[in-house]
A and B are shown apart, each in its own frame.
Chain A
Amino acid sequence: MSALTFTLKCKPDQRVDMSPLVCQKLADMTLAEIGALTLQNGKRKVRVDQLFDVTGSDAQDIVIKNSFSKLDFIGKELEGGRITIEGDAGAYLGLGMKSGEIAVLGDVGLYAACEMKKGFITVNGNAGDFLGAALPGNKMGMKGGTILVKGNVGERAGDHMRRGNILIEGSAGDYCGSRMTAGTIAVMGQTGNYLGYAMRRGTLLLWNQPQASARFNDCGAHTLAFLPILFASFKKLNSKFADSSASFNRVRRYAGDMSEMGRGEVLVKIS
């Protein structure tokens, strides 16, 4: 069976809510039925076949071609299957995703993987603010799964994060790991200001020394036994994190945010 492919005919001026086009909702539907589905486009509704050429048949393997930054809510609450986005994705990619896999060849917008529960998301480009965060007003961000970003991420990555891994090959913006409750964020590049702001628990694993903060206390240099196991779990990824040269177990440990619960940690690679 060939992948169920949505090829965007032209770029609409208004944003498009793509949440109906997930694997579990399209299973057992004919191409005609899929084409007749309606998507919210700005303040009006449009048929899928007005926006996309729809081909293929395997609803467990969806491909979105010519995607651009106004296609929001791709993979919302995805339950199994795979979505490949050839191009950029808009906001709320993989919102509340339950399982499955999303691969984005370009960039993603705000709130990617927010409140994600399980599954795997790869972003080949950059990600916007609030990656893996909670929706505004909510107290629980990402609860499981793994997000791999090969580029840079914006501000507030992992805000209110509860569990799971966010792996960033590039750099992270300000407030990375803010209000984090648990989980792991690994950043190979640089980090911005206010790292781990109001963080309660969780791990920020850094390759480069962050800006000094009075809210984190130096606990000294250590060899931590869990790090080889963590790196071993990255081996299957198509990422710099899978390189054996990327793994280490000697770190300097900073505990914080001491203005909060203070059970979180920033682990900085000792080279």
Chain B
Amino acid sequence: MIINGVAIDATFAEAFPMKATRAIITAQNEKWAMISAQAMTGFATSVIACGCEAGIERVLDPSETPDGRPGVSIMIFAMGGKGLAKQLETRAGQCVLTSPTSALFAGIDGGTRIALGKNLRYFGDGFQVAKLIDGKRYWRIPVMDGEFLAEATTGQVDAVGGGNFLVLAESQPQALAACEAAIEEMRKIPNVIMPFPGGVVRSGSKVGSKYKALGASTNDAFCPTLKGMTKTDLSPEVESVMEIVIDGLSKEDIDKAMRVGIQAVCDLGAANGIKRISAGNYGGKLGPFHFHLQEIMA
């Protein structure tokens, strides 16, 4: 399959089951909601070493937030429910509770309930106040700038992590420009995040390593500087490869995000140095969800 001169590999991306949650952060203005959201989703690019994968889903209009203030929707993904709950609580406590004017609300009504502000309330040292409004419990925690309002729980649901595609280009600037164009379109899709810096990862990994202590290592088949010394997957003219990783609430959400992302890359086309689209295929070792590139773009 070739789209605008870009070859779409007959391969598939492998993804794995995760647990996910969503939270809504509001603040006096969008600037401070975004600061808090960025802090909460920081150091959360990969479960390999961060404990979770997190990202900003989208900016919310005041009409969409529970308290009518500007807000940001964030999502956190982890390999298990227990780890997810721990990450959520730690991050909410250190990054949102501390952030001026912030408030924190559930972003998923159903699912398994996990603590959002439920345990943060103890910071109130006995001065905290619970309010049950329309079946939802909120905690009002006195803080130095007034009151921190946090919904007691949010929903945890089954999700899919690790959807991906690779952009193979003739140069590093061209690969990055294509990925930026893809991310801009993918951010318009709900229920997904791209957890890596700016949504793009340049250090895609393979499963396993020559070093026993490591479970993952550099994806040498896609490293352009190793073209002459490993079993490469790159043609001579490819000088740079970048990857976009997608976590989503369902396989369908990731399908949509991959479609618009790959389409944006292909719109730049061969004229802008884009040669191929491939995917992180680990021979079925990584996970049960398979995203076939050519099916997605059909």
**Residues A228 and B131 in contact, CB atoms below 8 Å apart:** no
**Residues A226 and B127 in contact, CB atoms below 8 Å apart:** no
User: Cβ of B197 < 8 Å from any Cβ of A?
Assistant: no
User: Cβ of A32 < 8 Å from any Cβ of B?
Assistant: no
- Residues in B with CB closer than 8 Å to A182 are 130
User: Cβ of B103 < 8 Å from any Cβ of A?
Assistant: yes
- Residues in B with CB closer than 8 Å to A184 are 131
Known contacts A225-B103, A233-B134: A265-B147 contact under CB 8 Å: no
User: Cβ of B214 < 8 Å from any Cβ of A?
Assistant: no
User: Cβ of A150 < 8 Å from any Cβ of B?
Assistant: no
Interface string of B139-159 (1 = CB under 8 A from A): 010000011010000000000
**Residues B129 and A229 in contact, CB atoms below 8 Å apart:** no
User: Cβ of B198 < 8 Å from any Cβ of A?
Assistant: no
**Residues A263 and B68 in contact, CB atoms below 8 Å apart:** no
**Residues A225 and B134 in contact, CB atoms below 8 Å apart:** no
Interface string of A253-271 (1 = CB under 8 A from B): 0000000000101000000
- Residues in B with CB closer than 8 Å to A201 are 129
User: Cβ of A25 < 8 Å from any Cβ of B?
Assistant: no
The chain B residue with its CB closest to the CB of A222 is B146
Contact with B147, one of A163, A222, A229 (Cβ below 8 angstroms) = A222
Contact with B138, one of A163, A222, A229 (Cβ below 8 angstroms) = A229
Query: How many whole Å from B291's CB to the nearest CB in chain A?
Result: 40
Question: A108 CA to B215 CA in the complex, in Å?
Answer: 71
Contact with B131, one of A144, A223, A230 (Cβ below 8 angstroms) = A230
- Residues in B with CB closer than 8 Å to A232 are 66, 68
Contact with B133, one of A223, A233, A265 (Cβ below 8 angstroms) = A233
**Residues B127 and A230 in contact, CB atoms below 8 Å apart:** no
Known contacts A184-B131, A265-B129: A228-B138 contact under CB 8 Å: no
Contact with A229, one of B66, B130, B146 (Cβ below 8 angstroms) = B66
User: Cβ of B132 < 8 Å from any Cβ of A?
Assistant: yes
Question: A224 CA to B140 CA in the complex, in Å?
Answer: 9
User: Cβ of B67 < 8 Å from any Cβ of A?
Assistant: yes
Interface string of B109-139 (1 = CB under 8 A from A): 0000000000000000011011111100010
**Residues A226 and B146 in contact, CB atoms below 8 Å apart:** no
**Residues A224 and B68 in contact, CB atoms below 8 Å apart:** no
Known contacts A222-B146, A233-B134: A228-B129 contact under CB 8 Å: no
Known contacts A203-B131, A229-B133, A263-B129: A224-B67 contact under CB 8 Å: no
**Residues A225 and B147 in contact, CB atoms below 8 Å apart:** yes
The chain A residue with its CB closest to the CB of B133 is A233
Known contacts A222-B146, A222-B147, A224-B140: A230-B133 contact under CB 8 Å: yes
Question: A86 CA to B229 CA in the complex, in Å?
Answer: 90
The chain B residue with its CB closest to the CB of A225 is B149
The residue among B67, B127, B131, B146 with the most chain A CB atoms within 10 A of its own CB is B131
Question: A210 CA to B81 CA in the complex, in Å?
Answer: 49
Interface string of B249-274 (1 = CB under 8 A from A): 00000000000000000000000000
B contact set with A: CB distance below 8 Å = 66-69, 103, 126-127, 129-134, 138, 140, 146-147, 149
Further pairs besides A228-B68, A233-B134: 10, Cβ < 8 Å: A223-B146, A224-B146, A225-B67, A226-B140, A229-B66, A229-B67, A229-B149, A230-B133, A232-B68, A265-B129
Which 10 pairs show the lowest CB-CB distances between chains A and B?
A: A225-B149, A233-B134, A233-B133, A225-B103, A228-B67, A228-B68, A226-B149, A226-B131, A225-B67, A230-B133
